A and B are shown apart, each in its own frame.
Chain A
Amino acid sequence: MITVKLFGMTKSLADNQSSLILALGKNQSVKNVIDLVNKRYPKIGELIYNKKVLVSVNQEIAHEDTKVQEGDEIALLPPFAGGTVSRKAQVPR
């Protein structure tokens, strides 16, 4: 079993749960985790497949092929709240 932490809108899309517990076999990768998440919450799956939500493993951004094992810390990361660049700042002088 692995625990997937949810943040931001992914929590809202998962009935406000802050984590999901998934049954994951051996020799699995992030792709398998995403597929399991997608089965339960297709709206979250779609965001991950479209790269709108990233996956981290042990606090580092991961890609689909990243291996996952029991005890790993996995999280779904929506876009970070980056603040706004003002229009004025974008006009070249």
Chain B
Amino acid sequence: MSATDQNDLFVRVQREDFSVDAEINRVRSRSKRIGGISIFLGTARDHSKGREVDSITFEHYEGMAQKKLREIRERALKDFDILELLIVHRHGEITIGENIVLIVAGAEHRADAFRACKWAIDELKQITPIWKLEHTPTGEVWVEEHP
């Protein structure tokens, strides 16, 4: 499989839900040297800044979102002692409790798996053009988490 095809599998923005097990196995299969896998799973919660949330719509900038996620994966592979990093983010309407985003980091040792996973989700939230529209009983709100 070419490097480009690998990127397509390990960095995805998609409407459909994902299987955490399947994505962990995708990372695990990359190297037998992986001894620790750290994951972050973001899910939709029913309250945000004091308001009740019925569902969330995620909007993304097709093309740029994937570009930024690929950059995050490449930087993580370069800056941390990890063997693989996978990022999947959903878009479209998501109901409360459902999966939103998954980061899976595989490394020989757990310390860098934890560090890379945390760094990747923190970076994703800073640089990725994805927006959240919360549907509440009193109307719709575009969420601005960063000042």
Contact = CB atoms under 8 A, between A and B. Distances in A.
B13 interface: no
A84 B53 CA distance: 15
A92 interface: no
Interface residues of B, number: 24
Interface residues of A, number: 17
B142 A84 contact: no
A83 B125 contact: yes
Interface string A66-83: 000000010101111111
B21 to A, nearest CB: 24
Contact of A8 (B64, B128, B142): B142
Residue among A7, A80, A82 with the highest chain B CB neighbour number at 10 A: A80
Interface in A1-29: 5, 7-9, 12
16 contacts: A7-B59, A7-B131, A8-B59, A8-B133, A9-B142, A59-B63, A73-B63, A75-B129, A78-B144, A80-B125, A80-B126, A82-B145, A83-B42, A83-B145, A84-B48, A84-B49
Contacts of B63: 59, 73
B96 interface: no
Contact of A75 (B48, B61, B125, B147): B61
Interface in B48-75: 48-49, 58-59, 61, 63-64, 67
Contacts of B142: 8-9, 12, 78
Q: Looking at chain B's contact residues, is the secondary structure mostly helix, strand, loop, or mixed?
A: mixed
Q: Looking at chain A's contact residues, is the secondary structure mostly helix, strand, loop, or mixed?
A: loop
Contact of B61 (A5, A79, A81): A5
A81 B67 contact: no
A34 B67 CA distance: 24
Given A59-B61, A75-B129, 13 more contacts: A7-B129, A12-B142, A56-B64, A59-B64, A73-B63, A75-B64, A80-B126, A80-B127, A80-B130, A80-B145, A82-B126, A82-B145, A83-B145
Nearest to B64: A59
B64 A81 contact: no
